[in-house]
Amino acid sequence: MPHLFLQRLATTSANQLVRRRGHIYNAARYHHVLSTQKKAIPHLITLADLSQSQIYNLLRSAIQHKYNAKYAGKGSGEPLKGKTLALTFSKRSTRTRVATESATAYLGGTPMFLGSQDIQLGVNESLLDTAKVISSMADGIMARVGPHSDIEVLAKYSSVPIINALSDKYHPTQILADLMTMHEVFGPHSDTDSEYISHLHHPKDFLPGLKVAWIGDGNNMLHSMLVTFPKLGIHFSAATPKNYQPDADVVEIAKKEAKNSGSELSFTTAPKEAVKDADIIVTDTWISMGQESEKLQRLKDFAGFQVTMSLAEQGGAKPDWKFMHCLPRKSEEVDDEVFYSPRSVVFEEAENRKWTILAVIDALLVKKSFD
C-alpha cells in the first residue's frame, strides 16, 4: 500500500488524495513526504540539540549585542523590520516576556504577545492547528508551555522557527543567560560599570573548569544544566532530596557529555557535599504556585536545602563563590543574607536573559542557523 501511494503521489494532487477513500491515511503520508523533502527549519527546543561550538556562538553573539546596544550605543540595523515574533505563553512570565519583547524591538521586529486568555493553545483547538495557523502569519514563535511534548508538537508542525521559552522539562534560554553571566563574572571584567570588556574574550577560555553546584529540585532548570554544562567542560554537582532526582534520560545525556569533555559530574542528597569546591551555587523555586497543596510536604523534604552562608562555608565552597537563581525567588530557597549580598549575581543574570534571547532570535530569524 505505501509503495502504491508514493507512485500515485507523483501524479495526484493533495486535494485529490484528500477526496479519496482513506482520507486520514493519505493526508498523513502526503504531509510526511513533503516534510521530508523541504529544508529543515531550525528550532531551539533544548540545548541538548546544539553542539558545543553552536552554544558558544550564541554566547558570543549575546555578549556582542550587549556591548553594542548598552555600551557602544550601536543600533542593530533592524534586520527584523516588517517581521513578527509571536509569544504564545500558557504561563505567566516577567523576565522572559520583557526580554523577548525588548530584544525583538531592538532588532526592528514586532513582538505579538498571545497569553492563555488570548488564544486557544491546545484548548478547543489542537496544537497542530495552532502551529499551522500562527506560523502562517508570524515569522517565529516563542512558546512557553506546560508539557514538553507541547513544544515538540509545535516544532513539528510549524513552518517557522520555534523557541522554547520554558517547558516542564527544559528552559534553554535561561541556561544561556547563566553561562553569559558566569563568563562576565569569572572572565576578565572591568572594575567600573561604565566599561565592558567581556566581548573581547571568548567564553571557552574561562567557562571550562568552573564548578557549579545545584541545590534544589530535579526540575527543568536542573535538566537544562545537565545537558549543557558537562558539554562545555564545566564540572557539575547536583544535590536533590530523595525522590526529587532528575529524569533518567537527562542524566544519561549528562554522563555522555561529561565523558566526552572530561568534566566531573556527581549526584547526592547532601547539599554540603555538593557545594564542595563550587565556584557557583545555584538553586530555583521548589515550591511553585502549582505545588501549594504540597507545600508542607515539600518544606519537610527540602529541609537543609536553603542556600546560606553557613551552608557554603561548612560545605567548603570556593572563597569567591557566587550565587545564581533564575527568579522569582522565595526565602525558603535562599536567605536574604545570600540573595542580597555581593556574592549574588541574580539581577545581572536576569538582565542577560534579554541578550541571550536576542542572540537566539538573531540566529533563527535572521541568520537562519546556529553555526
143, 225, 326, 364: the catalytic one is 326
Closest CA to 210 of 179, 251, 252: 179
3-state class of 359 per DSSP? helix
Task: Estimate the crossing angle of helix 148-157 against helix 127-137, to 10 degrees.
Answer: 50
Query: What is the enclosing helix (H) or strand (E) of 238?
Result: strand 235-239
Closest CA to 135 of 111, 113, 160, 116: 160
- Amino acid type, 49: D
Continuous H helices in the chain: 2-9, 14-19, 23-37, 52-66, 95-106, 127-137, 148-157, 172-186, 220-228, 248-261, 271-274, 295-301, 309-315, 336-339, 346-361
Q: Which three cell numbers stand for residue 13?
A: 494532487
Closest CA to 28 of 12, 8, 14: 14
**What residues contact 171, with CB distance under 8 A and at least 6 apart?**
164, 220, 221, 224, 326
For 278, phi then psi, to 5°, come to: -75, 135
**132 included as an active-site residue:** no
Long-range contacts of 62-65 (CB under 8 A, 24+ apart): 62/176, 62/180, 62/352, 62/355, 62/356, 62/358, 62/359, 63/180, 63/183, 63/184, 63/198, 63/199, 63/203, 63/355, 64/199, 65/106, 65/355, 65/358, 65/359, 65/362
Q: How far apart are CA 155 and CA 343, in angstroms?
A: 39
Catalytic residues: 326
